[in-house]
Structure 1
Amino acid sequence: MVELVLTINDKDGSYTEHAAVVLASIFSKTEQTIRVHIVHDDSLSEENKSKLTQMVDVFHHNIFFYHVTIPEDMREVAAGVHKIDYWTMASMYRLLLPIIIQTDRVIYLDCDILVNMDINELWSIDLGDRYLGAVLDQGENLLEYFISMGLSAELYFNSGVILFHLDNIRKKDNWYGEMLNFLRNFPKMTMPDQDVLNAVYSGNYLQLDQCFNTFAQNELDLEHKIIHFAGDSKWWDADSPHAELYNNFRSMTPWGWGGGYAPEPVFEAAFEPVQADIPVEPPAPEIHFPEPPVQEFQFLPPPVQEAQFLAPPVQDIQLPAPPVQEIPVAEAPAPPPDNLPVKRHRRKLRRTLRLRRRLRRKRIIRARYRSIKRARLIKYRYVKRRILKLRRKKLRTVSRTRKLRKVSRRKHVIKRLSLRKSRYSLKRKQHRKLHKAG
C-alpha cells in the first residue's frame, strides 16, 4: 500500500480543489491501493473535507485527516523568519511528518504537481539507511546564498516531491533541535521549509531521477513524468498554456462532477463521465471509511503525550527528544495564591528573546563580514600573483634587451680599439723606417 501525504492551508477555499486535482492525476495512473494523509489546520472546511472523502471513496482508496497545531517552540522560532508570512506557517508541516505520520515511509507532494506516471515507481525505490529521496533543485543557482547558510549547491534538492524514510529520521539524534537551530540562526532565508530540510538531511539522501520532479516549461513534455509547476505561474491560471489539462483532471473531482454524481474510476489518461441515471458504486467494505472525527494534535515536550492518531499501524505519537535545553519541561504544579504575576514572566521572556535576537544579528553580521573579507583576500591574492607574474615576464624581457645592448657595445668597442691599434702600429713602423733611413 502506498502512503501519500498532502498538506493543506486553505484560506480562500480553492487550495483544497488543487489538492483534489493532484489526487485525481495520481488515481488515474495507479492501480495499487493508496492511503492518503491530509495534514491541515482550521482553514480546511467540513464541506471540502467531505468532498475529498467522497472522491477517495469513489476511487476505492483510504483517506485520513490530521488537524495539527504547530509546537510552541517551533512557532516562536519560525515567527522570526522574514519569509514565513509569504509561505504561511503551514509550510512547517512537512518538517513534522516524522511525528505526525506513524508509518515507515511516506511520499510527500506539493499541491501544484501533476503525476503522469504510476506513483508506485517512486514508492518502490529502496532508500536503505538514507533519510529521504529527492531531485536536485532546477531553479537559479544562488551560490552566495547557499554559502552564507552553510548549504551545498551541488546537493541542494527541491522539496516539492520527497520520498521520506520516517524510521531513519526518527533514529537521527536531535533532528528536531537541528531544525530549530537552523531557523533561529538564519532568519533571512527565502524558502524556510526547503532550506531547513537541506540543512538537516542533505548529507545523507538519495538523488532521484529528474523524471520524478520535472519543472514545467512552456513546451511541456508529459511522457512518464511528475511535473512540478513551481514558481508564480501555476497550471490552473486562466492564461496558462496548461489550463486545459488542469480542467480535464478537475472534471474527475467533486468540484467538476456537477449534479452531485461521481464518475466511475478508471486507470487511463482520458476519463469519460458516467450517465446521471447510473448510481455510484459504493466503496469496498474493507476500505469503507466513515466520516472521520476531528483530530487535534497538541505537541508537548516529552514525556507528556496527549495526542492520538488514526493512521495505522502505530496509534501513539512518539515525540522527539527535547530539542532545545533552554525550554523547560512543562509542569503543572498547583498554583498558590501568592504566585508570581504572569506579566512579569512575560516581560522576562521577551527580554530573553530580545537578547537572543541581538546575538543572532551579531553572529550573522560577523559571518557576512568574514565571507566578504575572505572573498577580498582571495581576490587580492589572485591579483598579486598576476602582477608578480607580469613583473617577472617584464624583467626577463628587460634583462634580455640589456644583455644584447651590452654585447653590441662591447663588439663596437673592440672593433674600434682594433682599428686604432692597427693605425698606430702602421705609423710607428713608418717612423722607424724613416729614422733608420736618416
Structure 2
Amino acid sequence: MTDEVPEALGRAVDAAVDPDALLDTLAVLTAGPSPYGREHATARRLAAFAADRWPHLSWRVDPLPAVDGLPDAANLVASCTHGDADELLLYSHLDTSLTGDPGFDAAVTGHDGPVPALRRQVGPDAVVDGFGLGVARAAAASALVGFVAAATALRDRGVPHRLTLLLAAAGTHRHLPDDPAGQVAGGVAYHLDHLSAPAAAVVAKSGPPGILTAEPGAMFLRVRLQTRHHPVLARDTAVPPGGLIMNLAPVLAALETFRRAHLDARADRSDQVGAEVGVGSVGAGRPGKPDLLPGRLDLHLYLVTIPGDEPDTIVADLRDTLTRALADTPLRDCVLDVAGWPVHSAAATPIDAPISRHAHAAWQAVHHAPPTPIRGWTGSTDGVVLRGRGVPTVRLGPAPLVGDPDDPRRDRYEVAELVRFARLYARIAVHSSTASTD
C-alpha cells in the first residue's frame, strides 16, 4: 500500500475541479432554508441540479422516517463504483446551525431582517459570502465538487474505486429536553444503520487549519430551580425575595466556578481535543404575563467532552458545585435539579491509519506544506459518530475569513480556498482508491 499518486492522475483530478461548478453548487445549497430536521427540499433541489449536471453519477434523496414535529428530514447520497475497491465516504451535512427563519434566529443573532443572500465577488481574490456557509454549506459544496472530480478522473482512467458522498440531515447539535419524541436521529446514523459501513470517511467541515484525527464529544446540561409562583406585586414575600430572575447572579457565578474547575482538571492534555462548557440559554416566565414571577428558571449548557469523561460524574460535580454555592443565598429554599444528556463520546483515529496518511499526503500535495499541528480543539461533529461505528475518520475543511461585522449571519470565504479544499477532498479519494487496489 502506498500514499503516492501518479502525477498524471493528480493533475487530472486537480483539473477536474471546476470553480464555476462549485459556485453553482453553493448557489443551489443557499437557495432556501435548510434547518435541522427539515432538509428534504434542499436535498431534492441539489439532487436535481447534480443529476442534470453530472448524469454519469448516481444521485438520490433518502428521506428519514417522519418524526413528530420534524417530518422533513432527508439525506442526499451520491455514489460511483468501478471494480473492486474499499469504500470511502465523503461526509458533510445539509442543515445549518441557524434555521434561516429571521424571527426564530433573532434571539441568537440579534438580527431580524431578511436572510442575507449569497454574494460573489469576481477577480483573483474572489470572495463569496452568505448565510450558513460556515455551518456547513461551504465545506459541503467543496466536498460535492471534489467527489465529482475524483469519481470522474478515476472512472475515465478505469481505476477501481468505490466513492460515496453523504450530505446528511440533522448534522448540527440540537436538544429538546422536554420533548424526546421531537428529536431527529442524525442522518449519518440513519445511513450507517441501513447500509454497510465504509472502510474510511472524511468529514468536510470548516475548522482549524489542519487535519483532525480526533474530536471531542458533547453533552447537554440543564440546571433547573423551582419555587412557588408569586405576583410581582408581592415580590418582597416571594421565595426567593424578588423572584428567581432577580437572583440569577449567584447561579451564573456558580456555573463559572464549575467551568473553571472543570477546565483546570483537563488543562494538562497535549492531544488534539480540548474541553469547554458554556451557558447558551436562560428561560423563565412568560413574555405575555410579566406581572407574574416565574416559579421555574432553566439554564441550558453545552459541554464538550474529552476521552475519559463520564456524563454522570459531570452532572454530579455540577450539582455539588451549585448546592454548595447556593447554600448561603436566597436560593437555598428553591428546589435544584441538574440533568444531563450525552450526545456523543469523544473518539479518535490512529495517526498512522491509512485514511490519516492519505489525508496528510493530499494536504502536502495541495498546500505544498504539511498541515499545522492541532491541539485543544473543542468542536465536535459527526466524525465521532463514524468513529463510534468503527469507521476510521479524518476531519478537515476550509477556513472562513473574518465575518461581516454588520451582519453575523453572513459567513465569508475565499473562492480559491473552497477550490483548494475541493481538490484536497478529491486527492484524498484518489489516494484511498489507488492504495486499496495496490
Q: Provide TM-score, normalisation by structure 1.
A: 0.20
The structure whose residues are more often strand, as a share, is: 2
Q: Provide TM-score, normalisation by structure 2.
A: 0.20
The structure whose residues are more often helix, as a share, is: 1
Larger RCO: 1 or 2 (CA < 8 Å, sep 6+): 2
- Name which one, 1 or 2, has greater alpha-carbon Rg: 1
